[in-house]
Amino acid sequence: ATPTALMVGTGRGAQLGILIKGPEVLESTRQVDTVVLDKTGTVTSGQMQLVEVRPAGTSTRDEVLRIAGALEDASEHPIARAITAGARSELSILPTVEQFANTQGLGVSGVVDGHAVAAGRVSWMAKQWGLHLDPELGTILEAAESAGRTVVAVGWDGALRGLLIVSDTLKPTSRQAVAELKALGLRPVLLTGDNYRAARAIGAEVGIDEVVAEVLPEDKVRVVREMQESGRVVAMVGDGVNDAAALAQSDLGIAMGTGTDVAIEASDLTLVRGDLRAAVDAVRLSRRTLSTIK
Ligand code: ADP
Ligand code: MG
């Protein structure tokens, strides 16, 4: 490819809302055969809502909201923002959390009024404190996850005390973008730290059947590397701090312009409007640019 054609391609990208780090990026775009998509904030809006609070055992709804709201107030996670906003809309005062700790990709913990408290992934809470859900709550958990929702377990004093159900919405263009990626011959893969059931449900909604879920932030990069080792040329689309290493590892890193600076810095392309269809435009642009100049 001539430098001039690549420069023209880069300029055309900017008009399409695609910021390209260097002209050579268009060359790697053309080689890609697999597109790994982060779920939250990439395929979905990432603007989560607290939709249900379910106390367990003898705890009350207010206790569950109060502890979870206080704990999540110290976290920046979209799940945390949904829970804190939900708690604040119902309770006027949230208690102070001492010894706050954030376990990346799993949950949060601390001490409230002298009691050890935690909130996070159900499997993470179960591992620490055991999971004794009555059958009704078990059914609610399964149904929520099967509907693509994220369930957060809350506990204190060494026992699980309730579940919080958080929902996200698909971006309106995600389904179309996935269909177009497939029409271009690319294999989409959904990659997320969220649970399998929810990930599969979201995958089904957008038309992705290859789903890699319950992946810890530090393992996203390993998933990409393994795909590369099996001969795939991987584009990764993401928005979060926890996507940065995987974006840097991939053959083509694509950041959502609406995402974190860390993700943008780690990437070769930025989709300014956070619309996945621009990733499709980028592939088309690279193919056109490179075919006219060979
Ligand atoms: P994603 O890949 O969707 O960006 P993360 O790796 O950030 O997800 O988180 C994975 C899972 O860990 C979440 O789906 C949630 O179950 C749990 N989790 C992470 N942070 C928190 C938090 N602050 N509160 C509750 N749960 C959390
Ligand atoms: Mg994300």
C-alpha 52 to ligand 1 mean position (Å): 17
- Determine the Cα–Cα distance for residues 186 and 211; give it in Å rounded to an integer: 15
Start-end of H helices in the chain: 3-15, 25-31, 61-72, 78-90, 122-129, 135-146, 174-183, 196-206, 220-229, 244-249, 261-266, 277-293
Q: In this structure, which ligand is nearest to the CA of 78?
A: 1
Give the sheet arrangement for strand 234-238, strand by strand. Answer: 18-20, 269-271, 252-256, 234-238, 34-38, 187-191, 210-212
Rounded to whole angstroms, what are the CA distances from 9 to 6, 248, 273, 288? 5, 22, 19, 9
What is the model's pLDDT at position 26?
A: 82
What is the model's pLDDT at position 10?
A: 81
Instruction: List phi, psi (to 5°) of 19.
Output: -95, 125
- Determine the Cα–Cα distance for residues 179 and 15; give it in Å rounded to an integer: 23
Look at strands 107-112 and 98-103 and give their pairing.
Answer: antiparallel
Q: Is the pLDDT of residue 115 over 70?
A: yes
Give tens-digit pLDDT for 1-39.
677 877 777 887 888 889 998 878 888 888 899 999 999
Q: In this structure, which ligand is nearest to the CA of 190?
A: 1
What is the model's pLDDT at position 294?
A: 47
- Kindly list the protein residues that place their beta carbon closer than 5 angstroms to ligand 2, a single-atom ion: 38, 40-41, 239-240
ipTM over 0.85: yes
C-alpha 101 to ligand 1 mean position (Å): 14
Residue 108: pLDDT band (50, 70, 90) is very high
Index of the ligand 1 atom closest to the CA of residue 191:
2
C-alpha 294 to ligand 2 mean position (Å): 37
Give tens-digit pLDDT for 200-225.
999 999 999 999 999 998 899 999 99
Give tens-digit pLDDT for 50-106.
999 999 989 999 999 999 999 999 998 999 999 999 999 999 999 999 999 999 899
Rounded to whole angstroms, what are the CA distances from 217 to 117, 165, 177, 192? 23, 22, 25, 9
Residues with CB under 6 A from ligand 1: 39-40, 72, 75, 77, 79-80, 105-108, 119-121, 150, 152, 192-194, 217, 240, 242
| 292/284: higher pLDDT | 284
Using only C-alpha atoms, what is the Rg of the chain?
21
What is the model's pLDDT at position 9?
A: 79
Q: Report the residue among 64, 65, 125, 194 best suited for mutation to probe ligand 1: largest number of ligand atoms under 8 A from its CB.
A: 194
Q: So which residues are the catalytic ones?
A: 38
C-alpha 192 to ligand 1 mean position (Å): 9
Partners of 52 in the β-ladder:
165
Give tens-digit pLDDT for 121-167.
999 999 988 877 888 999 999 999 999 999 999 999 999 999 999 99
C-alpha 42 to ligand 2 mean position (Å): 6
Query: Residue type at 242?
Result: N
Q: In this structure, which ligand is nearest to the CA of 50?
A: 1
What is the model's pLDDT at position 292?
A: 60
Nearest CA to ligand 1 atom 7: 105
Partners of 188 in the β-ladder:
35
- CATH code of 49-167, in short, is 3.40.1110.10
What is the model's pLDDT at position 14?
A: 80
Tell me whether domains 3-45+170-293 and 49-167 share a fold.
no
Index of the ligand 1 atom closest to the CA of residue 119:
25
What is the model's pLDDT at position 164?
A: 98
- Determine the Cα–Cα distance for residues 66 and 56; give it in Å rounded to an integer: 14
Q: Is the pLDDT of residue 293 over 60?
A: no
Domain ranges of the chain: 3-45+170-293, 49-167
Q: Report the residue among 36, 53, 79 best suited for mutation to probe ligand 1: largest number of ligand atoms under 8 A from its CB.
A: 79
Nearest CA to ligand 1 atom 21: 107
Q: Is the pLDDT of residue 287 over 90?
A: no
What is the model's pLDDT at position 209?
A: 96
pLDDT-wise least confident of 230-234, 239-243, 258-262, 284-288: 284-288
| 196/27: higher pLDDT | 196
What is the model's pLDDT at position 134?
A: 84
CATH 3.40.50.1000 is held by the domain 3-45+170-293: yes
Q: In this structure, which ligand is nearest to the CA of 152?
A: 1
Index of the ligand 1 atom closest to the CA of residue 40:
3
